[in-house]
Structure 1
Amino acid sequence: MVNIIKRMRKLRAKVKQPATISLLLWIRNGPGAIQLPKEVTKISVEFHKKLIGSHHRGARHFWHEILPRIKYRNPTVPISVIRHDDPTGPAYLHIYTSPKSSASQTMNTPSTGNAPPEPNNSSTPDTSKPTHTVDIKTLHESEILEALVEKTGAVLVQTPPEEAQEMSEIEEFKERSEKDRVEVREKLMKVRREEELLRLARGEVPNAA
Structure 2
Amino acid sequence: MLPRIKYRNPSVSVQITRHSDPSGPSKLHIYTSSDNKTAEQPTTLAPKSATPNRRDTFTPDTTPPTYTVEIRDLHESEILAHLVSKTKAEEIEPSAEEVAEMEEIKEFKVRSAADRALVKEKFTKERREQELLRLARGEVTAAA
What is the TM-score with the length of structure 1 in the denominator? 0.48
- The alpha-carbon deviation at position 126 of structure 1 amounts to 4.3
Q: Does 1:67 align with 2:6?
A: yes
Q: Which residue does 2:115 correspond to in 1?
A: 180
Which of 1 and 2 has greater Rg? 2
| Residues 99-150 of structure 1, C-alpha deviations (whole Å, 9 max, x = no match) | x9xxxxxxxx9x9xxxxxxxxxx9x764322232101122222222221111
In the alignment, is the contact (CA less than 8 A) between 2:6 and 2:15 conserved in 1? no
Q: C-alpha displacement at 1:173, in angstroms? A: 1.3
- Residue 191 to residue 148, structure 1, CA distance change in 2 (3 Å): same
Match of 2:52 in 1: none
Give the Cα–Cα distance (whole angstroms) in 1 for the partners of residues 73 and 122 of structure 2: 46
Deviation at 1:86, TM superposition (A): 0.6
The reply on whether 1:206 has 2:139 as its aligned counterpart is: yes
Give the AA of the match of 1:161: A
Give secondary structure in 1 for the equivalent of 2:18.
strand
* Number of the residue aligned with 2:87: 152
Contact 2:2 2:16 in 1 (8 A): no
Tell me which residue corresponds to 1:81. Answer: 16
2:75 paired with 1:140: yes
Assess if the C-alpha contact under 8 Å between 2:32 and 2:66 holds in 1. Answer: yes
Q: Is the 8 A contact 1:62 1:144 kept in 2?
A: no
- C-alpha separation in 1, matches of 2:11 and 2:62: 26
Take 2:132 and 2:94, find their aligned partners in 1: how far apart are those partners?
A: 55
Q: CA deviation at 1:79?
A: 2.7
Q: Give structure 2 stretches of 5+ with no counterpart.
A: 44-56
What do you get for the CA RMSD once the two structures are aligned?
A: 3.1
The letter for the 1-side match of 2:86 is K
Query: How many residues in Structure 1 have an aligned counterpart in Structure 2?
Result: 120
Consecutive unaligned residues in structure 1, runs of 5 or more: 1-60, 101-108, 112-121
Indicate conservation of the 8 Å contact 2:30/2:67, yes or no: yes
Residue identity matched to 2:16: V
- 1:91 aligned residue: 26
**How much has 1:178 moved relative to structure 2?**
2.9
Kindly indicate which of the two structures has a greater share of residues assigned to strand. Answer: 1
How many Å separate the matches in 2 of 1:161 and 1:131?
34
TM-score by length of 2: 0.66
Distance (whole Å) between structure 1 residues aligned to residue 98 and residue 61 of structure 2: 39
